[in-house]
Amino acid sequence: MANILIVAEHDGQTLNASIAKCVSCAGGFGGAPIDILVLAASGEAVAREAAALQGVNKVLLAERAENDKPLAAILAPQVAELAGGYTHVLGPSTTFGKDLLPRVAALLGVNQVSDIMEVLGEHRFKRPIYAGSAILTVSVDPGNKVVATVRSASYQPCDTGGEASIESVAIDCDLPDHSRYVELQAQTTDRPDLQTAARVVAGGRALASAENFKLVFDFADCIGAGVGASRAAVDAGYVPNDTQVGQTGKIIAPDVYFAFGISGAIQHLTGIKDAGVIVAVNKDAEAPIFEVSDIGLVGDLFEVIPQLQAKLGG
Ligand X SMILES: Cc1cc2nc3c(=O)[nH]c(=O)nc-3n(C[C@H](O)[C@H](O)[C@H](O)COP(=O)(O)OP(=O)(O)OC[C@H]3O[C@@H](n4cnc5c(N)ncnc54)[C@H](O)[C@@H]3O)c2cc1C
CB 23 within 8 A of CB 158: yes
- Cβ neighbour number for residue 191 with a 10 Å cutoff: 16
Structural Rg of the chain based on CA atoms: 21
Q: Which does 233 bind (CB under 5 to 8 A by kind): ligand X, other proteins, none?
A: ligand X
Residue 285 DSSP one-character state: T
Alpha carbon distance 129, 112 (integer Å)? 14
**Partner from ligand X, other proteins, none binding residue 283, C-beta < 5-8 Å depending on class:** ligand X
Say how far apart CA 239 and CA 236 lie, in whole Å: 8
282 binds ligand X (CB under 6 A): yes
Segment contacting ligand X (CB under 6 A): 45-53, 64-72, 89-97, 265-273?
265-273
Question: CA 222: distance to chain centroid?
Answer: 25
Residue 256 is which amino acid?
V
Q: Is 284 in the site for ligand X (CB under 6 A)?
A: yes
Answer yes or no whether residue 286 interacts with other proteins by CB under 8 A: no
**208-236 burial: b if 16+ Cβ within 10 Å, else e:** eeeebbebbbebbbbeebbbbbbbbbbeb
Backbone angles phi, psi at 178, to 5 degrees: -90, -5
28 touches 19 (CB < 8 A): no
Which partner, other proteins, ligand X, none, binds residue 167 by CB below 5 to 8 Å per kind?
Answer: none
Using CB under 6 A, pick the residue from 70, 92, 261, 296 that binds ligand X. 261
Pick the binder of other proteins from 240, 253, 263, 302 (CB under 8 A).
240
Which listed residue (10, 21, 88, 250) binds other proteins by CB under 8 A?
A: 250
| x/- map, 107-136, ligand X, by CB under 6 A | ------------------------------
In the region spanning residues 189 to 248, those forming contacts with ligand X, defined by CB under 6 A, are 204-206, 230-233, 244-248
76 is an interface residue for other proteins by CB under 8 A: yes
Query: What part of residues 82-121 is at the interface with other proteins (CB under 8 A)?
Result: 94-96, 98-100, 102-107, 109-115
Interface residues toward ligand X, by CB under 6 A: 204-206, 230-233, 244-249, 261-263, 265, 267-268, 281-284, 287, 300-302
